[in-house]
Each structure stands twice: as structure tokens, then as C-alpha cells.
């Protein structure tokens, strides 16, 4: 049955409204053995290569810093103060702390929905009170730190909303006989030949580097892990049609995927430069994006399951991110 244009316009308008609502909550040798060497006159046996000593798994204290992708916005049970941080009791930091068998006294989750890097250094106001500066949870005794930040600095949720709005305008134009563009959102952020989003990601990178320096200064003995963002969209935009319809142009879906890749690449580069470990969550989340079936997806689509936040991890997503982080911590 052919699609009509009007449902497409309605769906696009709904997408923009839902994304705005969802953001208002806050927010990866062999060689010759010694016998051979000893058989040659005048040569001493080569020293055996020592077996590397495994790095012990940190036991705490553990401090988790981050935004809504860390906090587990709207995933039950919601715990902690302030309530406006929308922090879940089964977010990936809580799951990692449980897997490491850390007692409550050895674990602090101060992540908060909507957080930017500046909210790690200063109090963050929320609808349910003020979240103290997240970095204040650190101390010289801290031995494990995880941080998931940068997406809000780059304005990624705002970009998703803008893309929905741009495609809405584009769809409305088709109603009056104008030809639709191929990628209205990409065109919006590339006007004048300037890649506005790349500039935002680069600027966010400077702030992430400063945060990592602050963490190292406050907790010099801690092992630090920067957790990347999971895949929001599939490699093939066509697979999103059953979920998104023709709400967003395929070229714009590809554009959004490209920008998320740039964001994660920035986080990896900044983590490595600071001596931290980058935890990739894109690989493990492949096939679990927002366009996957309800039983498979880790990221909720613009029309999420009841009570969950659009374009954010659900409980399975938090479990998947916890698994990727634990693999790195125990590696």
C-alpha cells in the first residue's frame, strides 16, 4: 500500500516534539629456545622473556561520572538524589559495581541526565534539585573512575531534534509541489562550506581533555575509563523504515551516524592522550540500535516503549554497556 505524504509530515512533527521532551529531563613470538643458544660456543643462553604481570582488577573506591547515557534516564528503579538526575539503580555503573562485588561504601554514582563537562566542575541544576559538582566525589583514595560525557557539549540531542525539524519543513514543501531535498539536515549544518558539528565536537574535545586532567589531579592512583556512546542507528538506513518510516531522509541518517562516529573518535583520542582507557560500545551494540526490533534494541526509538526516554539506552543497553566496560576493566 503506497505511503501518503501527510502521515510522513505528522510522524516528523511527532519526532521533533518527542525528542524535545526526551531532552528536557536533563538531557571502545616464537624464537630460538635457550637450548639452541647454549649450543653455540661463546654465547650465553638468552634470558627467558618474563610473563607480564596481569594488572589487578580495581577494587574501589569507584566513582562514576557522566550524563544521561550513564545515569540511565527513566529506567526503573530511579534512585539517588537529586531526583532530577533521573539516575537508575541498574545503570551501567551500578551493574559494574555489583559485578566487582563492591560494597556501597566503595561506590559513588554521581552521573546526571543533561550533564555537560562544565557540570562535572560546578553544581548542575535540575528539576529535582541541584547535583553537586561531579568531580567533588573524587579523592586521592579513588581507584576506579568511569566517565561518559561529551555528547551534550557537542549538542547531539539538539542536532537530532534539528534534523527532525528540517525534515519536517522539507516534507511540508512537498505538499505544495516543491521538490524535496536529499539531506536537509546535513545541508543545514554544512551551510557556507563549514562543518558546524565537527567544530562542536572539536570544542567538546578540549573540555573532555580538561576533565581528564582534573580527574588525574584529584585521583592520581585511579584507573580511568572513558565510555563511548553506543550505536544509535544501523549501517543500512533502509532498515529504519519500519521504525521511522520516511521521517528522516536516508542521507541524513547516514549523516547522523557519521557525526556519532566523529564524537566517539574524539573521545578515544582524548582518552588515550590522557593515559585513560577508551571503552568502545559501538561494536557490541551493532544490531541493537533504535531501529532494531523491540526485543533486540538497546536504544529506544523516537516513539519509545512506555515510560522510557527516546533515543536513549534502555535496560538492555545499560547491560550491554556494563559488559563492554567490565571487559575493559578485567582485561
Per-residue model confidence as pLDDT tens digits over 11-69: 444 445 444 444 444 443 333 332 222 333 333 444 455 555 567 787 889 999 999 99
Residue 96's Cβ-count burial label (10 Å; 0-12, 13-18, 19+) is: buried
- Residues labelled as active-site residues: 68, 312
Residue 174: give its domain's CATH number.
Answer: 3.40.50.1110
Give domain status of residue 160, yes or no: yes
Residue 69 lies in a domain: yes
Per the domain annotation, does 33 fall within a domain? no
Alpha-carbon gap, residue 311 to 329, rounded angstroms: 27
Per-residue cell: 165:
525539524
Domain of residue 84, residue span: 5-20+57-330
Q: How far apart are CA 254 and CA 290, in angstroms?
A: 14
The answer to the question of residue 43 being in a domain is no
Provide the domain count of the chain: 1
pLDDT tens per residue, range 70-117: 999 999 999 999 999 999 999 999 999 999 999 999 999 999 999 999
Residue 257 lies in a domain: yes
At a CB cut-off of 8 Å and minimum separation 6, what does 267 contact? 150, 205, 208, 226, 228, 229, 278
Q: What is the pTM of this model?
A: 0.82
- Residue 305 located in a structural domain: yes
Q: pLDDT tier at 238 (50, 70, 90 boundaries)?
A: confident
Cα–Cα distance, 267 to 278 (Å, whole number) = 7
Amino acid at each position: 500500500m503506497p505511503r501518503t505524504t501527510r502521515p510522513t509530515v505528522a510522524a516528523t512533527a511527532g519526532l521533533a516534539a518527542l525528542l524535545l521532551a526526551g531532552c528536557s529531563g536533563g538531557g571502545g613470538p616464537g624464537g630460538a629456545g635457550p637450548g639452541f643458544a647454549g649450543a653455540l660456543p661463546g654465547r650465553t643462553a638468552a634470558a627467558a622473556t618474563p610473563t607480564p604481570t596481569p594488572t589487578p582488577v580495581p577494587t574501589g573506591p569507584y566513582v562514576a561520572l557522566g550524563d544521561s547515557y550513564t545515569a540511565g534516564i527513566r529506567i526503573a528503579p530511579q534512585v539517588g538524589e537529586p531526583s532530577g538526575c533521573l539516575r537508575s539503580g541498574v545503570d551501567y555503573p551500578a551493574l559494574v559495581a555489583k559485578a566487582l562485588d563492591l560494597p556501597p561504601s566503595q561506590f559513588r554514582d554521581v552521573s546526571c541526565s543533561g550533564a555537560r563537562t562544565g557540570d562535572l566542575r560546578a553544581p548542575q541544576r535540575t528539576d529535582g534539585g541541584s547535583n553537586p559538582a561531579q568531580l567533588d566525589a573524587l579523592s586521592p583514595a579513588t581507584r576506579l573512575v568511569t566517565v561518559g560525557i561529551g555528547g551534550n557539549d557537542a549538542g547531539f540531542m539538539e542536532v537530532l531534534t534539528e534534523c527532525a525539524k528540517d525534515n519536517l519543513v522539507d516534507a511540508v514543501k512537498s505538499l505544495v509541489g516543491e521538490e524535496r531535498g536529499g539531506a536537509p539536515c546535513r545541508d543545514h549544518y554544512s551551510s557556507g562550506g563549514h562543518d558546524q558539528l565537527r567544530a562542536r565536537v572539536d570544542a567538546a574535545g578540549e573540555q573532555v581533555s580538561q576533565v581528564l586532567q582534573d580527574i588525574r589531579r584529584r585521583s592520581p592512583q585511579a584507573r580511568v575509563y572513558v565510555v563511548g556512546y553506543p550505536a544509535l542507528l544501523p549501517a543500512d538506513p533502509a532498515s529504519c523504515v519500519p521504525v521511522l518510516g520516511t521521517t528522516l531522509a536516508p542521507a541524513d541518517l547516514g549523516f547522523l551516524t557519521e557525526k556519532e562516529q566523529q564524537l566517539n573518535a574524539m573521545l578515544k583520542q582524548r582518552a588515550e592522550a590522557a593515559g585513560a582507557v577508551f571503552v568502545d560500545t559501538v561494536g557490541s551494540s551493532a544490531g541493537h540500535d533504535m531501529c532494531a526490533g523491540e526485543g533486540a534494541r538497546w536504544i529506544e526509538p523516537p516513539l519509545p516503549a512506555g515510560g522510557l526516554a527516546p533515543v536513549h539506552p534502555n535496560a538492555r543497553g545499560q547491560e550491554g554497556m556494563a559488559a563492554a566496560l567490565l571487559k575493559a576493566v578485567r582485561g
